[in-house]
Amino acid sequence: MSPDDPLDQKLTQDRPATAAADPASTERTIGRHRAPERQRRGGRALLASTPVRVALATGVTCCLGAAAFAGTRGDTDTPREPVAEAVAERAATDERASRALDRAASPAPAVSASPTPKPTPSATRKAPAKPAKPARPRPVAGLTQAQMDNAKIIVDVGEDLKMPRRALVVAVATAMQESNLYNLASDVLPESRQYPHQGSGSDHDSVGLFQQRPSSGWGTVRELMRPTYAARAFYEALREIPGWQEMSVAGAAQAVQVSAFPDAYARHEGRATTIVAALT
């Protein structure tokens, strides 16, 4: 303790007189008062040392900051991966991941396409071509369409029976003489009117294209009113005539029909030939 310290001088002046007579008491008294003094002196020392510590701390902080700045600067000078590219790549990765999660979470409903039916063999197989329906023949030799249609039936039946061309001419000429190539009913046979017909006649019970008589055994009224049946009946009867091929058209027709006017068939030979030629 310095004798020049004012605090010590004041303590010496304020001591009681008994302190000199009792050293122990004086020591105890001084000791009791020294503790606060030391505390005060320590406080002053602490206060005196505080700026030094702050200065040291500030210097250390500045050194650390300079070192950190130097390290950062050194890192900056070192070539590294561009930050923008890294961020873009990370964003693209996150976006792909989010899209993948979206697809996994809510998959788009699949559109089920209706299966295309496979063609069955029956569908792909071509149907057999149907024969074209023959057009109605154009009338020739002054005939009407109905007459030409009937003449065609006569020619078609003769061809089906493999009859020669001359037989076709004989048959057409005969029908031209007997019915003028119309399918006629009979006023004598009311039944004949029940079937399709194109007029009527009054020569006994004769009916049809060839005016054949049911009473003579040619067939029933119903059969004879069918042009195909009447034509077949005529050709079959012509076949039964011996040598009909060498006969004239009128002679062959008369041999089958046994008409009261045998020469009447001859006048139809020319037109009949023209009609057959047009139909064959």
- CA end-to-end distance (rounded Å), the chain: 167
Tokens at residue 5, please? 């310290």
> pTM of the prediction?
0.54
pLDDT at 206: 96
pLDDT tens profile 182-214: 999 999 999 999 999 999 998 889 999 999 999
Burial 35-64 (b: 16+ CB within 10 A, else e): eeeeeeeeeeeeeeeeeeeeeeeeeeeeee
Has residue 216 got a pLDDT over 60?
A: yes
Look at 38-42, 134-138, 208-212, 249-253 and tell me which has the smallest mean pLDDT: 38-42
Q: Report the mean per-residue pLDDT for the chain.
A: 74
- pLDDT band for 134, please (50, 70, 90 cuts): low
Mean pLDDT along residues 249-276: 96
pLDDT tens profile 14-27: 444 444 444 444 44
